[in-house]
Structure 1
Amino acid sequence: MDATTLIYIGFLLTGTAVTIKFQPAMAVAIAYLAGIIFLPVSTMTVPDTNHVSADSPYWIMPVALPSVGFLTKASVASLTALCVALFRSAKTFADFRPHWVDIPIFALCLWPMLQLASTDASPDAVQASLYLFVIWGTPWLLARLFFNDRDGQLSFIDAFVGLTLLLAPIALFESWSDARIYQWLYGPHPFADVGIDRYIGHRPLAMFEDGNQYGLWMCCAALMAIWRAKHASVDTHRTARKIVAAILLTLAVASQSVGALVLLAFGAAILLSGPALMWLRKAFVPMALLFALAMSVYLSGVIPLRTIAKETAVGHAIWSGLRASGRGSLSWRIGQDQKALPIIQENLIAGSGQWDWWQPLGGRPWGFILLMVGQFGLIGICLAFSSMLYAMWTRVQPVGQSDHRNRRFSAGDPGLVFAVMMILVMLDALLNAFVILPLLLIAGGLVLPSKGSSPDRPSTSDT
């Protein structure tokens, strides 16, 4: 048994015990988020393949998708949170009532079994399905049980902000040093040096899968802290929360992840501006349709971006401008995606069922969406995100256009933060493989709020 497995077992046992003093929703949030933040990513060994170079780290897959191993920080965090939930509030599970909106997520978890009819699954279909149940199904279920009202959502936000704040010493150290705390604690990290050099100093990694994921996580924490400070119900709490928000905003800016910071600015504009919120409500459906159309065109390869970039003056100028501005990684990511499109199109609808479907390329694409399409097809993508999109849509509709009009979210309700966070994380997943896994808790928490929840009543977290 290797050291990483021992750490996982230790976390599962201690995480269940340590959270005993917290209310169930807070205990579940802490158990899950602490695992995602502080555990080692996985036992990251070179896979047995003839097509992937051991000199490149890009064979490492995001833990949000099943690949060569079952034990990862994501699976251990989910199982720990599930144990905490069963230990602290087993009766809550008996009160759970499935809804049709749950079907797509749980169908995704079964999809590898259905793919057996046309593919040779890798990993084994049973293992892949079980992994998806743990990584996707379990957080979704826990969110439906514990984070579907105001108090539960505030508990999640407070846990996210508080645990992220504990990373401040690591962030400060790694910003000014090229040393990595992860390597001191857990051993080599394949992405330790990828994107480490920034405009000033270095971008921290902490215990995340990738520096890009760290940057987006910090921006999400800062966005939550800013909203929490604005809507704190007690003045003394508001002052403390402003200090926390300022610290996390500083850490987010110091990460120097330009794409994540743009998303942070976009999210803050929606949360803090009434006109921006109204614009989102009016534009949500047209934006979703336009996004679906753009993705369809992109996946079809109708517009040959690589050819345009290499053989036209305009394309060459844009690509050169990106490199000159220090954003050459964007052009590289798009190039990786474009190279993968011919292979994806071979099994575009149902997917290949193979975690390493990209092997003939010698390296994988960089976007999570393409990685999922290659493995599970367009069917898998629709199953994964349709429930989330439905949850967001019902929350941004004006009164009179939603089936949940009596539960409409106001600017001071945490459900709006959840909806905006989902938009940011899903946009980031287009160009980054390492998604923010609490997306599942956030999305599940938006589905069918409990009838007793009220957007404007005081929270027990603030009283």
Structure 2
Amino acid sequence: MNVMAMIYMAFLFLAIAASSRMRPVQAVTLVYLAGIVFLPVSPPVDNLPSLESAGASPYWVMPAALPADIFFTKAAIASLAALLVALLFGRSRLNGFRFHWADLPILAWCLWPLLQSLWVDASPAGWHSSLYLFCVWGIPWFLGRIYLANRNDQLIFVRHFVGLSLLLLPIILFETVSEVRLHELVYGPHPFADVGAQRYFGYRPLAFFEDGNQYGLWIASAALLAIWRAKHAAAAGRSRSQLAVALLLLVMAIASQSAGALILLFAGLMLMLFPPAFRLLRKAAVPALVLFGALMAVYLSGALPLRTIAKETTAGQIVWSTLRASGRGSLAWRIGQDQKTLPAIKEHIVAGSGQWDWWRELGKRPWGLPLLMIGQFGLIGFGLAAAIALRALWIQISSRVEEEVSGSRTRNPAAVLAILLVMALIDAMLNAFLIMPAIMAAGAISVVRSRRRSE
């Protein structure tokens, strides 16, 4: 048994031991979130081109959100551990589960690689990819549907998300001061240890996340949830401790110096604190989705030569220079990485190549998750995955969510979970990872309307 297997087994043992004294909802959510936060990232895949030896960062490492040659990633282990806890200690909830048509997109997404493998030479095999997607996407979705079915359950999720994020503070302080990655001390080398480490001021922590940007988005999401808790605790006259936690996480988010995550946090706070922003969102949701689809089509077609515009036009050079001067040159670089992979994507754009490393001959992979998904599973797979989130978001946008976020009576956490999901989706456009608990949140809020009608 290798070291990684021993770590995973130890986590399963601790999860079972701790869960025996908890309520099922608390155990399932805490085990899942703790696994995502504290388990190590996957070890590098063997027999790949050594870009690192050529002086480049190892960009070939795949995110845990998509299947590759490695099956047991931190996302898979966290999901399996939570499912095991549910089977051992929460059978009554499982037995009460009823299938809903809103579950069709997640099932279709998980089964798509198996169907795809009927006409493409898939690597890994279709059954392998389907099983992985079910572990990493399907299990969190259904656990969210079952164990986060009401306001009290969702409040437990929010509390655990905030509490576990707060436990990162000693790690963050250690890495910021010492400029040493704790992951390397505890688990071994991290493939993205030095990517984006130097920030505007000092050194950005990483903890046990897949990427420094992922850490930044996680802390920003935790700050959003903590501020929401503090706002509603104030109405109950018990806001001091909640306010302190919210301020601390907000400082941690700012100190992460992840500009994209902070912009998303600011936008999320506007939606959460100002009801007119939600009303505007409801009116603009469909046009925004249509516009996004059009822009995505143009981007994938390559009809807009962004690299040529940036290098050969005056306006493009001004934008490029401005981004570099502001320290945001990475944004243009990421777009450039994506643009270079478009010809390979177009070869199998509808159904996908079925190859997890379809980009290997290029010596680089796209930096955004959508293009990685389309290259492997095509527009069909991407559409199925997008439908998972769109269903949950439509439920919230089409209802009076502004009352749930800011109202003094309902204080339903479903809407703030929807904001968390939106932040994760937008960030994934330019980053290869996804905040996987957002999938659990999507499952939790995907049938809100039906549940209300039944009540």
Give yes or no for TM over 0.5: yes
State the match for 1:253 in structure 2.
254
Structure 2 counterpart of 1:219, one-letter code: A
Structure 1 segments (4+ residues) deviating >6 Å: 450-454
CA contact (8 A) 1:175 1:254 kept: no
Q: Deviations over 1:207-235 (max 9, x none)?
A: 00000000000000000000011012774
State the match for 2:27 in structure 1.
27
Deviation at 1:395, TM superposition (A): 1.0
Distance 1:316 1:200, change over 3 A: same
Q: Matches of residues 280-295 of structure 1 in structure 2 within 5 Å?
A: 280-295=281-296
CA contact (8 A) 2:421 2:439 kept: no
Distance 1:202 1:10, change over 3 A: same
CA contact (8 A) 1:215 1:260 kept: yes
Deviation at 1:344, TM superposition (A): 0.6
State the match for 2:71 in structure 1.
70
Distance 1:351 1:174, change over 3 A: same
Q: Give secondary structure in 1 for the equivalent of 2:59.
A: helix
**Which structure 2 residue ranges, 5 or more long, are not aligned?**
none
Structure 2 counterpart of 1:43, one-letter code: P
Distance 1:280 1:227, change over 3 A: same
State how far apart, in whole Å, the 1-side matches of 2:129 and 2:294 are: 30
Once the two structures are overlaid, the 10-residue window that deviates more, 370-379 or 51-60, is: 51-60
State how far apart, in whole Å, the 1-side matches of 2:224 and 2:52 are: 39
State how far apart, in whole Å, the 2-side matches of 1:305 and 1:27 are: 48
Q: Deviations over 1:163-204 (max 9, x none)?
A: 110000111121233111110000111111111111111110
Q: Give secondary structure in 2 for the equivalent of 1:58.
A: coil
CA RMSD of aligned residues (A): 1.9
State the match for 2:271 in structure 1.
270
Q: Give secondary structure in 1 for the equivalent of 2:90.
A: helix
State how far apart, in whole Å, the 1-side matches of 2:223 and 2:49 are: 43
State the match for 1:194 in structure 2.
195
Structure 2 counterpart of 1:367, one-letter code: G
Q: Matches of residues 61-460 of structure 1 in structure 2 within 5 Å?
A: 61-232=62-233, 235=236, 237-398=238-399, 409-411=404-406, 412-449=411-448
Q: Give secondary structure in 1 for the equivalent of 2:203.
A: coil
Q: Deviations over 1:105-139 (max 9, x none)?
A: 11111111111132111112111111011011111
Identity, % of aligned pairs? 52
Q: Give secondary structure in 1 for the equivalent of 2:205.
A: coil
State how far apart, in whole Å, the 2-side matches of 1:391 and 1:194 are: 33
**Which structure 1 residue ranges, 5 or more long, are not aligned?**
400-404, 455-463
Deviation at 1:50, TM superposition (A): 5.1
- TM-score under structure 1 normalisation? 0.93
Deviation at 1:54, TM superposition (A): 5.2
State how far apart, in whole Å, the 1-side matches of 2:254 and 2:319 are: 26
Q: Give secondary structure in 2 for the equivalent of 1:347.
A: coil
Distance 1:256 1:408, change over 3 A: closer
Structure 1 counterpart of 2:15, one-letter code: G
State the match for 1:461 in structure 2.
none
State how far apart, in whole Å, the 2-side matches of 1:104 and 1:204 are: 36
Distance 1:218 1:287, change over 3 A: same
Q: Deviations over 1:243-300 (max 9, x none)?
A: 1001100100000000100000000010011111211121112111211111111111
Deviation at 1:91, TM superposition (A): 2.2
State how far apart, in whole Å, the 2-side matches of 1:185 and 1:358 are: 32
Distance 1:53 1:343, change over 3 A: farther
State how far apart, in whole Å, the 1-side matches of 2:90 and 2:217 are: 32
Structure 1 counterpart of 2:448, one-letter code: P
CA contact (8 A) 1:164 1:221 kept: yes
CA contact (8 A) 1:299 1:341 kept: yes
Q: Give secondary structure in 2 for the equivalent of 1:209.
A: coil
State how far apart, in whole Å, the 1-side matches of 2:344 and 2:388 are: 28
Q: Give secondary structure in 2 for the equivalent of 1:232.
A: helix
CA contact (8 A) 1:177 1:202 kept: no
- Residues matched between the structures, number: 447
Q: Give secondary structure in 2 for the equivalent of 1:57.
A: coil
Q: Give secondary structure in 2 for the equivalent of 1:190.
A: coil
Once the two structures are overlaid, the 10-residue window that deviates more, 214-223 or 358-367, is: 358-367
- TM-score under structure 2 normalisation? 0.94
Once the two structures are overlaid, the 10-residue window that deviates more, 15-24 or 419-428, is: 15-24
CA contact (8 A) 1:104 1:386 kept: yes
Q: Give secondary structure in 1 for the equivalent of 2:439.
A: helix
Structure 1 counterpart of 2:417, one-letter code: F
Distance 1:116 1:42, change over 3 A: same
Q: Give secondary structure in 2 for the equivalent of 1:196.
A: coil
State how far apart, in whole Å, the 2-side matches of 1:81 and 1:149 are: 19
Q: Deviations over 1:354-409 (max 9, x none)?
A: 1100112101010011111111111111111213112111212245xxxxx9x984
Deviation at 1:452, TM superposition (A): 7.1
Deviation at 1:337, TM superposition (A): 0.3
Once the two structures are overlaid, the 10-residue window that deviates more, 224-233 or 33-42, is: 224-233
State how far apart, in whole Å, the 2-side matches of 1:383 and 1:92 are: 27
Distance 1:23 1:322, change over 3 A: same
State how far apart, in whole Å, the 1-side matches of 2:84 and 2:388 are: 25
State the match for 1:11 in structure 2.
11
State how far apart, in whole Å, the 2-side matches of 1:388 and 1:112 are: 19
